[in-house]
Structure 1
Amino acid sequence: ACRLQNVGEQGHMALLGHSLAAYISVLDRERLRKLTTRILSDTTLWLCRLFRYENGSAYYHEDDREGLLKICRLVIHTRYEDYTLEGFNVLYTKQPVIYISSAARTGLGQALCNQLGLPLSCMCRVPCNTMFGSQHQMDVALLDRLIKDDIEFGKLPLLLVANAGTPGAGHTDKLGRLKELCEQYKMWLHVEGVNLATLALGYVSSSVLAATKCDSMTLTLGSWLGLPAVPAVTLYRHEDPSLSLAAGLTSSQPVEKLRALPLWLSLQYLGHDGIVERIKHASQLSQRLLENLKNLDFIKTSVEDELSSPVVVFKFFQEYSNRDQTSHAAQASTIQHPIISNEGHIYDTFNQWLGEQLAQLVPASGVDVVELEDEGTCVRFSPLMTSAVLGTEIQDIDQLVDCLKMKIPVLTSTLQLREEFEQEVRRTISLLYIEDLDWPGLGVVRYNYHSDEKNDDKQEKELEKINTELLKKLNELESDLTFSLGPEFGGQKNCVYIGMVTEDLDVSELVETIVATGREIEENSRLLENMTEVVRKGIQEAQLQLQKANEERLLEEGLLRQIPVVGSVLNWFSPFQASPKGRTFNLTAGSLESTESMYLSKAQGTGSTPPPTPTSSLTKQRLPGQKAFKRSLRSSDGFSETSSVSHCDDLDKLDQRPPNLSPGQEQGPLEMERAEEQKEVMQAKTDTETIHSDKLPPDCTKAEDQASQR
């Protein structure tokens, strides 16, 4: 909906053209022929004047590759005179060769061969420069050698497809030298690319201006001007109209000529000044972004011409500053590939994340992520392809730069702390570091579950349960970090993925917290697993002890007291004082305990104060308002030392921890949880149901009452 709103009235004119074409097609044949001829000739004349292409013809097509396909057929008909009569037999005797750049659109060569019915051997990919010049420009010297080799093998060089703005980086081939080479070998030169739009401006670079001398070019006006559903245009020069008709570039059907009607209406509405203004605005946007990128550290740009480059490609690269141009002049305009493969993979991942973040934060900018052969993953800004539709303005570029300034410190901090986090985790016994180069963040960690269980499925489920609960606990902490299960596809299972971080992150505290939380979850899990067995054994032991207590009571009271009548009389004359005996079940220890001390303390009315609840000191104390995993202001100048965590160290810290905290200190999340847990255990122990050894008979109770009355 947002894109349709930005299309504006000129887009409505283009849509109206399709409706009018349907109505016009029902006119009588003579009127239809005159009207379509006028529309086609006017549109072709305007486009040739606008883009400085003199004496050209135009072919309008929906698919942007269809124009090049028709041009290939035209060249085949031109170079093979007997092709109309003998067909592919002529091609068999002298195989045609079509040359395209290695930086061309993906699948272009294969699509041409499939549509023309030619084998893939007829397609020759020309590598780009490797030593001198732009790494996205076609190597002219190598192309010359390839053409000579093909001629020696009896092949016929047919056509060369050059770029005025490669699909990835937006660089322009050396069209002047390529045109001379094509004239030397009688080849057809076809040019395509986004930089052809700048031919409509007053100032045009010499490299792009050379495209006006080529044999044909393809223009995609829909994306340049923000016009929906308008056809692409292929301008060409050829003197034989019969061959153009045979190749399909022209048609005798008037309805076919109505394809130009939506474009004719849109050009009428915009006018010459409106078209030039849109293209000029897109060029100004790219220049504004390029000027701001020059002042940013850790940002490398890859542009062909810093004065007029419609496409800006940049990436995050933490090696040299953009201002250090004197000592690294060779890297001023090109992005160097990292030496270490893992490092290059990490940079690709980080730049992928950067491009996605910028596109999400500033959607009106139209930035996207592009994969280049030498530079790797980069962020591309091509306003000629997006600004007219998205309505990009100067303030959007300023907002994009501001967002980029905020993301650069996050990227540098994460890249620096990534290695420290890996070393800290590898030194910790309970954690396993998972190397995932495709994850844009601090790293990936898994809590190791130590179990003697031989069933792999059960152990895998328990591992998943612990790490899932660990992720939940970490997300409940008050911190700026993001913890997740990783990407939806291709990620590791049963792991905790940690996202981007800032420079004040305390890696040691983070690892300690993960270990402590994981160990606590593991202990609780084992406690729940053993609870059923412990309770069952406790009940059996309680029954045995109660039976033994009954036998001891019989020996103490004697046999006479067990006789119904005699026992009542004997209890009345000589009451038997027996202290109640019972058992309590300690869930924490899993053992039975006597209730004598409990009754004694209640009878005396002076219950003993329970010992203070020990609290854990696995995480350092934070200042008021300070979030978790943040270094304090005193230690913010340097990174804290890392140390591994072991179970014995945890017990020592628990013993050395003072029972009460000072008012200026705060308990961490783990300390509070453990304190509450131990309070619940003490409460459960106090409120546990008391199991009495036996009930006193009614006669004995009556005798006790009478004795008390005496």
Structure 2
Amino acid sequence: IGSLDDLYNYIDLLNLWLFDKLSQQYPKMNLELLKGIQFQILKSDDNNSNRTPAHAIRFAPLEHLLDVIDEVEIQSFTDDMQRYSDILLATMIARARLSSSVSKYENLVSISMPNWAGIGAIRYIPSHININEQSEASSYDINTIQAELARKLQANDSAFSLGGETNEHDSMFYLRLGMIRKCDDLDVLLHKIADCGKETETALKYVEDMAEKIKIGIEKVQKDLQNENQQILAQEGLLRQLPVISNIMSWWSPSPTTSSLIMKGRSFDLNSGCIESTEDTYAYRMQIKKQSPHALTHNDEETVTLSTNPDLATNSTDTIPKQEEQQNQ
């Protein structure tokens, strides 16, 4: 916390947070939120004209109780007051050392949030982005990874939330850190952000690379199909491509059935990133999985043979027990 003014404003935010928690949890207490300059912390050089209004919580049991409250509820109220006080103290300490703690992580930067009662805000910067040379593409990447980080981290910890600036100087997302119970929790939260950020960055990079491969593959397939179509057109002629005349031409002069110029489909293998013909798929009525040269086989002695019958595919080892049974008979 930079200055005394920032400290006093932050303490005022903590009082608002405390009032919100207690009033929701103990509505029968009928707590009252007051605001006035007399509640502001005095500074040595302050006078009444320079003081700004601050908030305070008023609890007057004899005046404001809405219902009878027994001793157990009073004890619970005081215990929660102590628990919330410990949370506020731990959060204040963590907020004061947030910048120094974030500087230990190369991919994290702290974001100033004067109107936030929690610890503060963090932004994860991907490794391939220079924070000093930002562009529209880099801003998009940063926003994407912040949104994905918030989704993952919020699933296990409510201390994280997604925030974003709307001004012209900074319109990117960031992760807001809420209240903590212990001072050591700050290091745990930062470690979670750094680790999850690296995992998310790797996953997004893989998706981008795969999308680029698919894009290049589609362009290559389109070019190959266009070349095949031009070759067929050059061999058969333009008249065979017309709807009505093609029937007459086929009756008058049938096209050779053994022509190798046939339009073939293409498939994209996500594992290898290769483009393959779908000729085998249509020939055997099944998708043939080709063994990768780098993968280990399940059993080197077991081989798979495909029958010439397109509707039948059998494993050669399935016939071994039958042959042995015939020999025994």
TM-score under structure 1 length normalisation: 0.28
1:660 alignment partner in structure 2 = none
2:143 corresponds to 1:464: yes
SS at match of 1:432: strand
Name the CA distance, whole Å, in 1 between partners of 2:35 and 2:166: 20
The CA distance in 2 between the partners of 1:488 and 1:370, in whole Å, is 30
> Which residue, out of 93, 96, 109, partners 1:416?
93
Q: 1:440 touches 1:499 (CA, 8 Å); kept in 2?
A: yes
Structure 2 match to 1:534: 213
The CA deviation at 1:589 is 7.3
RMSD, matched Cα: 4.5
User: Deviations for 1:654-695, whole angstroms, at most 9, x for unmatched residues?
Assistant: xxxxxxxxxxxxxxxxxxxxxxxxxxxxxxxxxxxxxxxxxx
The aligned residue for residue 444 of structure 1 is: 121
**C-alpha contact (below 8 Å) 1:443/1:499 kept by paired residues:** yes
Distance 1:454 1:541 in 2: 33
Is this contact kept in 1: 2:90–2:182, CA < 8 A?
A: yes
Q: Pairwise mapping of residues 216-255 of structure 1 onto structure 2 (< 5 A)?
A: none
Deviation at 1:539, TM superposition (A): 6.7
Pick from 413, 422, 425 the counterpart of residue 102 of structure 2.
425
Deviations 1:539-570 (A, max 9, x none): 777999xxxxxxxxxxxxxxxxxxxxxxxxxx
Q: Deviations over 1:344-373 (max 9, x none)?
A: 222112121111111111111111332231
Q: Of the candidates 269, 275, 293, which is equivalent to residue 597 of structure 1?
A: 293
Q: Which amino acid aligns with 1:597?
A: P
Matches within 5 A, 1:120-139: none
Would the aligned equivalents of 1:349 and 1:440 in 2 still touch at CA under 8 Å? yes
Counterpart in 1 of 2:191? 512
1:340 is displaced (CA, Å) by 1.6
Task: Give the letter aligned to residue 15 of structure 2.
Answer: N
Residue 350 to residue 489, structure 1, CA distance change in 2 (3 Å)? farther
By how many angstroms is 1:514 displaced? Answer: 0.5
Shift of 1:595: 5.2
Deviation digits for residues 210-239 of structure 1, max 9, x if unmatched? Answer: xxxxxxxxxxxxxxxxxxxxxxxxxxxxxx
Matched, 1:356 2:20: yes
Contact 2:95 2:120 in 1 (8 A): yes
Alignment correspondent of 1:386? 64
Give yes or no for contact 2:10–2:115 (8 Å, CA) kept in 1: yes
Q: How far has the Cα of 1:588 moved from its partner?
A: 6.6
The offset of 1:436, in angstroms, is 1.3
Q: Distance in 2 between matches of 1:392 and 1:603?
A: 78
Cα distance, 1:356–1:539 mapped onto 2, change above 3 Å: closer
Structure 1: which 5+ residue stretches go unaligned?
1-338, 545-583, 608-695, 697-710
Deviation string 1:116-169 (CA, Å, 9 cap, x unpaired) is xxxxxxxxxxxxxxxxxxxxxxxxxxxxxxxxxxxxxxxxxxxxxxxxxxxxxx
CA gap of 1:404–1:599, structure 2 versus 1, over 3 A, is closer
**How do 1:96-107 and structure 2 match up within 5 A?**
none
Alignment of 1:604-615 (within 5 A): 604-605=300-301
Q: Are the counterparts in 2 of residues 371 and 378 from structure 1 also a CA contact under 8 Å?
A: yes
Cα distance in 2 for partners of 1:487, 1:599 equals: 46
Unaligned stretches of 5+ residues in structure 2: 42-53, 225-266, 277-289, 309-329
The DSSP-based 3-state class of the residue aligned with 2:114 is coil
Distance 1:386 1:514, change over 3 A: same
Q: Is residue 445–residue 496 contact of structure 1 (8 Å, CA) maintained in 2?
A: yes
| Preserved contact between residue 164 and residue 174 of structure 2 (Cα < 8 Å) | no
Alpha carbons of 1:488 and 1:397: their partners in 2 closer, same or farther (altered >3 Å)? farther
Counterpart amino acid of residue 155 in structure 2: E
8 Å Cα contact 2:33/2:58 also seen in 1: yes
Aligned-residue offset at 1:517:
1.4
Contact 1:410 1:501 in 2 (8 A): yes
Alignment partner of 1:438: what SS? coil
Give the partner amino acid of 1:482: A
CA contact (8 A) 2:31 2:58 kept: yes
Aligned length: 230
CA distance in structure 2 between the aligned counterparts of 1:533 and 1:407, rounded to whole angstroms: 51
Is the aligned partner of 1:370 residue 2:49? no
Alpha-carbon distance in 1 for matches of 2:294, 2:103 = 49
Mapping 1:146-225, distance limit 5 Å: none
Instruction: Give the counterpart letter for 1:381 in structure 2.
Output: F
The two structures have a TM-score, normalised by structure 2, of 0.55
In structure 2, what is the equivalent of residue 297 of structure 1? none
Secondary structure (helix, strand or coil) at the match of 2:113 reads: coil
Query: Greater Rg, structure 1 or structure 2?
Result: 1
**In 2, Cα distance between the equivalents of 1:487 and 1:601?**
51
Work out whether residues 98 and 110 of structure 2, in 8 Å CA contact, stay in contact via their aligned partners in 1.
no
Decide whether the 8 Å contact of 2:269 with 2:275 is kept in 1. Answer: yes
Distance (whole Å) between structure 2 residues aligned to residue 600 and residue 487 of structure 1: 49
Q: Secondary structure at the match of 1:503?
A: coil
**What is the aligned partner in structure 2 of residue 227 from structure 1?**
none
1:341 corresponds in structure 2 to 5
Amino acid at match of 1:431: L
1:503 corresponds to 2:182: yes
Q: CA deviation at 1:412?
A: 1.8
Residue 430 (structure 1) shift: 1.5
Superposed CA deviations along residues 449-500 of structure 1, whole A, max 9, x for unmatched, are: 55599863x65444333212111111223x5x5222359999x862222221
1:55-90 CA-to-partner distances (Å, cap 9, x unmatched) read xxxxxxxxxxxxxxxxxxxxxxxxxxxxxxxxxxxx
Aligned-residue sequence identity (percent) comes to 24
> CA separation in 2, counterparts of 1:505 and 1:354?
22
Distance 1:448 1:587, change over 3 A: same
Amino acid at match of 1:367: L
How many angstroms apart in 1 are the aligned matches of 2:144 and 2:88?
32
Return the alpha-carbon distance in structure 2 between the equivalents of residues 538 and 342 of structure 1. 56
Distance of aligned partners of 1:341 and 1:589 in 2 relative to their CA distance in 1, 3 Å threshold:
farther
Supply the distance in 2 between the matched residues of 1:426 and 1:484 (Cα, whole angstroms): 21
Deviations 1:254-301 (A, max 9, x none): xxxxxxxxxxxxxxxxxxxxxxxxxxxxxxxxxxxxxxxxxxxxxxxx
Q: Which amino acid aligns with 1:496?
A: L
Matches within 5 A, 1:609-624: none
Local SS of the residue matching 1:518: helix
Question: Contact between 2:122 and 2:174, CA under 8 Å: does it hold in 1?
Answer: yes
Q: Does the aligned pair in 2 maintain the 1:365–1:392 contact within 8 Å?
A: no
Spell out, residue by residue over 1:403-462, the C-alpha distance to the aligned partner (whole angstroms, 9 max, x if none): 202212212222222333332213322222112132222221122255599863x65444
Contact 1:349 1:437 in 2 (8 A): no
The separation in 2 between residues aligned to 1:400 and 1:489, in whole angstroms, is 39
CA contact (8 A) 2:164 2:172 kept: no
Cα distance in structure 2, aligned partners of 1:600 and 1:529: 28
Shift of 1:525: 2.4
CA separation in 1, counterparts of 2:296 and 2:105? 48
Q: Is the 8 A contact 1:411 1:500 kept in 2?
A: yes
Query: 1:431, 1:603 → 2: CA distance?
Result: 49
Quote the Cα distance in structure 1 between the aligned partners of 2:296 and 2:101: 53
